[in-house]
Amino acid sequence: MPALIFDCDGVLAETEWEAHLPAFNQAFAEFGLPASWSAEDYVERLQFSGGKERIASLLTAEFVRAAGLPSDPAAQAGLVERWHRRKTAIYAERVAAGHIVGRPGVARLVDEALDAGWSLAVASASAEPAVRAVLEYTVGPARAAHFTVLAGDCVPQKKPAPDIYYMALERLKVAPGEAVVIEDSRLGLLAAVSAGISCIVTPSSYTLSEQFDEAIMVISSLGDPSTPLEVIANRSPVMPGSYLTLHDVAACLTP
């Protein structure tokens, strides 16, 4: 059977502003680091795929001196791991407290896929505990139990490298033409198409200005009867109605 693969942040829910960014800043404060990212700062950090990579981008020579940190790369890597572990815990707490907003249509489309026997997965650069927290919050524990979760450092290279999608295809036992990816960013789109998988893009609040020319379809959201989607670009053989159906997704498969 075919497979439907979701990115996490920005696809399942809007997480960056109300969960990730405050969690980074709280972790920095708890560890006494001279860093506090504004929204503008954080947009720049989002060009790095993965939380540890975003934290590590702080470690300029000037920052290391100002924070009194060791210059040894191995010691710095250990600190980044520690800071990121605390940030992930704070993030999960914020998700559990209801600080994020699930995106329209996700749970509905998951139900359609489950009813049709499709395989489901999430492929994300975020830490696995954070991804599982968002997945369960968005679709509920019963639906989440049907997902294969690929997250964090499960592959050597993160998006836009295709590694995580190659792994998803292997785990789900499907060919590239038997899967569709739903992403929200250009980094994720490039990872999916590099793996040979059709990609539907639902831009999130921080990726609206990015270019998605390689996507088979770009829509404002997956949509629900009460929250209609807007078609931004479409190269698929179907035109979605007010919400994306599994029939629409199946038309994006490339056997």
Residue 66 parent element (H or E): helix 61-67
153 is catalytic: no
> Residue 43: pLDDT above 90?
no
* pLDDT given at position 152: 87
Percent of the chain with pLDDT over 70: 100
Closest CA to 164 of 172, 173, 175, 155: 155
* pLDDT given at position 23: 95
CA neighbours within 13 Å on the CB side: how many for 224? Answer: 11
Tens-digit pLDDT profile for residues 206-236: 899 999 999 999 999 999 999 999 999 999 9
CATH number of 3-14+101-250: 3.40.50.1000
* pLDDT given at position 153: 87
Residues whose CB falls within 8 Å of the CB of residue 70, separated by 6 or more in sequence, listed in order: 64, 76, 79
pLDDT band at 4 (very low <50, low <70, confident <90, very high): very high
CATH code 1.10.150.240 for 16-96: yes
* pLDDT given at position 16: 85
* pLDDT given at position 32: 96
* pLDDT given at position 56: 95
7 is catalytic: yes
> Residue 39: pLDDT above 80?
yes
Closest CA to 86 of 35, 30, 41, 133: 30
Residues whose CB falls within 8 Å of the CB of residue 138, separated by 6 or more in sequence, listed in order: 12, 13, 102, 103, 106, 107
Common-topology check for domains 3-14+101-250 and 16-96: no
Question: Mean per-residue pLDDT for 112-135?
Answer: 95
* pLDDT given at position 47: 85
> Residue 18: pLDDT above 90?
no
* pLDDT given at position 72: 94
The pair of structure tokens assigned to 252 is: 């994006």
> Residue 162: pLDDT above 90?
yes
> Residue 255: pLDDT above 80?
no
The pair of structure tokens assigned to 230 is: 């807007």
Which of 50 and 23 is assigned the larger pLDDT? 23
Domain residue spans of the chain = 3-14+101-250, 16-96
* pLDDT given at position 179: 98
> Residue 101: pLDDT above 90?
no
